[in-house]
Amino acid sequence: MSFHPSVNVLLKQAASLLLYQSVLADEAGQAFLDLLQKLNAQQNCVACLKAYSSWFKTLAQRRQSWQDYLVEKILYDENPFSQQVQSVSLDSLPSALVNAAKADLSVLQTLYNCDSETVSHWIQTACQLPHPPVAWENSFQQDSFLHDSKDWSSVVPQLAQHYQRNGCGIFGQYAAFTWQNRQLVGIAHPDPAQISEIVGYDWQKEILIQNTEFLLNGYAALNVLLYGSRGSGKSSLVKGLLNQYATEGLRLVEVPKSQLRDLPWILEQLRELPQKFIIFVDDLSFEEDDDAFKALKVVLEGSVTAKAKNVAVYATSNRRHLVREFFDDRPRPRDQVT
């Protein structure tokens, strides 16, 4: 028999998660499960205390309460429900998927209710300590409808709206990304540049804003090259677009010129996502027979694969000619087709 019947129930409930398993997959979640297992198995006092210490430390390092941790993980979680509800209405999803989400949320709310003081007293009882160990205390920092709800299974419509508005996974957590080692890496603190801070270029800004709004509204958007002198605000203008439209589903992926050969592969990763993406290439220029130019040309001019409607390329350059031009490369009168 376990030392406390609710611990055994919690372990079974955590194991029963159908969609939201990854909420408990990182260090804090695993430390909590390990602590429950130690308590349930009636392991010696030292093992229980070490497990409690590990859980305490992971929360302290994150500067989060256990409740804030769970809410954050749920809001960012990438699973079949959070992915599919971004593209279709809640009523159009299979009932089994919606019911699984409701069941998982009920389980997670039970875990949410295991506040640090409760767990601390479990340790006191299990180890027969005169006083409970220090409980990690941190007031709620994240404002969320989940904190305010007494029945998480009833907030599925609100959760669906959250995923539709903000996305999930890394696309819910970040608005800006860089491409490194063939994967997207989120940028926690993107450049805060604002379009209103850039003086002049009024008609250029108007055209760029209009083109970006076409992209956001699902219409055909043009790829854009911003040409001008160094320091004239080309890059800041693109970053300002992200800050203005991130809440409407715009995301920015900065791709270094050295990795432009990955562009076709990047597009295939983004094609089916509900968010709209600007692929940003800064300070663009090419040398003769540059493989990166060939990759960009395929993306801009198309290939057998259809163009991704949710992606546009915005590039900046200080050169008028992206590929260095030599006099001998220019057409001569005798070469003209008659």
Confidence of residue 9 (pLDDT cuts 50, 70, 90): very high
- At residue 316, φ and ψ (nearest 5 deg) are -120, 150
Q: What is the CA radius of gyration of the chain?
A: 26
Q: According to the model, what pLDDT value does residue 322 have?
A: 55
3-state secondary structure of 8: helix
Q: How far apart are CA 4 and CA 118, in angstroms?
A: 12
Closest residue by Cα to residue 282 from 178, 174, 175: 178
- Token pair belonging to 70: 């769970």
Confidence of residue 3 (pLDDT cuts 50, 70, 90): very low
DSSP category for residue 306 = P
Alpha helix locations (H) across the chain?
Answer: 5-15, 27-40, 45-62, 66-76, 80-84, 95-112, 116-127, 145-148, 156-166, 169-173, 202-216, 234-245, 263-270, 291-301
* pLDDT tens digits for range 189-198: 999 999 888 8
CATH of domain 176-317: 3.40.50.300
Domain with CATH 3.40.50.300 in the chain: 176-317
Q: How far apart are CA 274 and CA 249, in angstroms?
A: 8
C-beta atoms surrounding 334 within 10 Å: 5
Q: According to the model, what pLDDT value does residue 263 have?
A: 85
3-state secondary structure of 247: helix
Supply the DSSP string of 108-123, one letter for each residue: HHHHHT--HHHHHHHH
Q: How far apart are CA 268 and CA 288, in angstroms?
A: 27
Q: How far apart are CA 166 and CA 156, in angstroms?
A: 15
**Model's pTM, two decimal places?**
0.81
Q: According to the model, what pLDDT value does residue 320 have?
A: 60
Q: How is the beta sheet containing 176-180 ordered, strand by strand?
A: 183-186, 176-180, 250-254, 276-281, 311-317, 224-227
Q: Is the pLDDT of residue 8 over 60?
A: yes
What percent of the chain lies above the pLDDT cut of 70?
Answer: 85
Q: How far apart are CA 263 and CA 179, in angstroms?
A: 10
Beta bridge partners, 163, equal: none
Confidence of residue 327 (pLDDT cuts 50, 70, 90): very low
- Give the list of residues 6+ apart from residue 229 with CB closer than 8 angstroms, or none: 318
Confidence of residue 324 (pLDDT cuts 50, 70, 90): low
Task: With beta carbons less than 8 A apart as the criterion, state whether 174 and 186 touch.
Answer: yes
Confidence of residue 329 (pLDDT cuts 50, 70, 90): very low
Q: Which residues of 10-37 are buried (b: 16+ CB within 10 A; e: fewer)?
A: bbebbeebbbbeebbeeebbebbbbbbe
Q: Is the pLDDT of residue 35 over 50?
A: yes
The mean per-residue pLDDT over the stretch 235-246 comes to: 93
Q: According to the model, what pLDDT value does residue 261 have?
A: 84
3-state secondary structure of 323: strand
- Token pair belonging to 150: 């007494």
